[in-house]
Amino acid sequence: MTAAKATTVTLREMKKEQKKIVMLTAYDYPTARVAEEGGADVILVGDSLGMVVLGYDTTLPVTMDDMIHHTKAVTRGSKQTMIVTDLPFLSYHISTPEAVRNAGRLIQEGFADAVKLEGGREILDQVQAIYRAGIPVMGHIGLQPQMVNQLGGFKVQGKDFDTALRIFEDALALQEAGCFAIVLECVPTPLAKLISEHLTIPTIGIGAGEGTDGQVLVIHDMLGITDKYLPKFAKKYGEMFTDMTAAVNSYATEVRDSAFPTAQHGFKMNDEVLEKLQKEINQRS
Ligand SMILES: Nc1nc(=O)c2c([nH]1)NC[C@@H]1CN(c3ccc(C(=O)N[C@@H](CCC(=O)O)C(=O)O)cc3)CN21
Ligand SMILES: CC(C)C(=O)C(=O)O
Ligand SMILES: [Mg+2]
């Protein structure tokens, strides 16, 4: 675990020194505690919370109020780790002033350290304005889950020349506009490597191969908490769904068998008080 909380400056130093950046999502107090104690450099309060903890099929229903609510829980759980929060669908598309206002709410009300938003050159105005307000901004290109309905699913992006070049140029433009780092999601490994080599700011990959400056995963995926299928790019480092289901099963069995609770899980009462109480109750019946 890094001693001090990461900043935009130390993350850039890590890229220079070729030290990999470890990012992980967290959505509430316990996942934030686990991410921090486990040694993540950066915690992302991702809008994936809509799918992972709220049960929606996409990230589109997630609101600013949802993001603030979860960011507050995460910042209460991790004081030593940089916290980046996603701007949700439609919170930065309508106008640049609205984007700055919403980014500011994540900082002022949620206590996030930085914000992330999806998109390339079409959102440069918003990125610049948020940056000028003093709020660190992280970019996010490649697969942009908030575009799922236009993309026709959660699919790899940048396989052909035109889209690969578009993503490359978007990365350079985001760096120029003031982003301190960029997430590359679901792009071919060679494209992510090319982009990472041409940027001075760190890239953080998810489904983008080993050539990026850092990695990010959804914590429920890597812990094996989710019962849904796992995206191809994710790796399970635990089997928490199986472990937790087994624990619930043991509890259910013990309750049904009257094996739980035992004396150690209960509270005693003074014998005299109990006798007096029994007498009192007997007189009434
Ligand atoms: N649990 C979870 N993990 C994530 O990484 C994640 C979310 N949810 N929600 C928000 C986005 C959506 N993401 C996803 C979700 C699914 C695939 C997926 O199923 N990909 C297919 C390949 C599809 C194709 O290219 O045709 C795969 O097999 O992994 C990819 C990214 C990544 N993010
Ligand atoms: C998958 C990561 C990069 C994300 O944006 C999220 O968790 O919402
Ligand atoms: Mg997201």
Domains and CATH numbers, the chain: 8-238 (3.20.20.60), 243-284 (no CATH)
- 8 pLDDT tier (thresholds 50, 70, 90): very high
Answer yes or no: is the ipTM higher than 0.85: yes
Burial status of residue 115 (CB atoms within 10 A of its CB: 0-12, 13-18, 19 or more): buried
- 260 pLDDT tier (thresholds 50, 70, 90): very high
User: Per-residue pLDDT tens for 237-246?
Assistant: 999 999 999 9
118 is in an annotated binding site: yes
User: Which residues, chain by chain, have CB under 5 Å from ion ligand 3?
Assistant: 46-47, 86
Report how far residue 189's alpha carbon sits from residue 211's, in angstroms, rounded to the nearest whole number: 7
- pLDDT value of residue 274: 97
Contact 192, 208 (CB under 8 A): yes
- pLDDT value of residue 62: 98
Active site residue 185: yes
User: Per-residue pLDDT tens for 144-198?
Assistant: 999 999 999 999 999 999 999 999 999 999 999 999 999 999 999 999 999 999 9
Residue 3 has pLDDT above 80, yes or no: no
What tokens does 131 get? Answer: 């940056």
What string of H, E and C letters represents the secondary structure of 105-162? HHHHCCCCCEEECCECHHHHHHHHHHHHCCCCEEEEEECCHHHHHHHCCCCCCCCCHH
Pick from 269, 127, 107, 267: nearest CA to 201: 127
- Please tell me the pTM assigned to this model: 0.95
Residue 84 has pLDDT above 70, yes or no: yes
* Mean pLDDT value across residues 81-99: 98
- pLDDT value of residue 77: 97
Radius of gyration of the chain (CA): 24
Query: Who contacts 181 (Cβ-Cβ below 8 Å, separation ≥6)?
Result: 8, 11, 21, 138, 139, 201, 202, 203, 204, 213, 214
Q: Is 3 helix (H, G, I), strand (E, B) or coil?
A: coil
Report how far residue 139's alpha carbon sits from residue 48's, in angstroms, rounded to the nearest whole number: 16
**What is the average pLDDT score of the chain?**
97
* Mean pLDDT value across residues 103-129: 98
**Pocket of ligand 1 from Cβ distances under 6 Å:** 48, 51-52, 59, 143, 145, 154-156, 186, 218, 220-221, 226, 231-232, 234
pLDDT more than 70, % of the chain: 99
- pLDDT value of residue 11: 98
Q: Could you say which DSSP state residue 47 is in?
A: T
- 285 pLDDT tier (thresholds 50, 70, 90): confident
Higher model confidence: residue 46 or residue 228? 46
* Nearest alpha carbon, ligand 1 atom 26: 155
* Nearest alpha carbon, ligand 2 atom 2: 46
- pLDDT value of residue 229: 81
- pLDDT value of residue 228: 80
Total number of residues shown for the chain: 285
Which CA distances in Å does 45 have to 105, 109, 112, 114, 141? 14, 14, 9, 10, 17
Other Cβ atoms less than 10 A from the Cβ of 1: the count is: 11
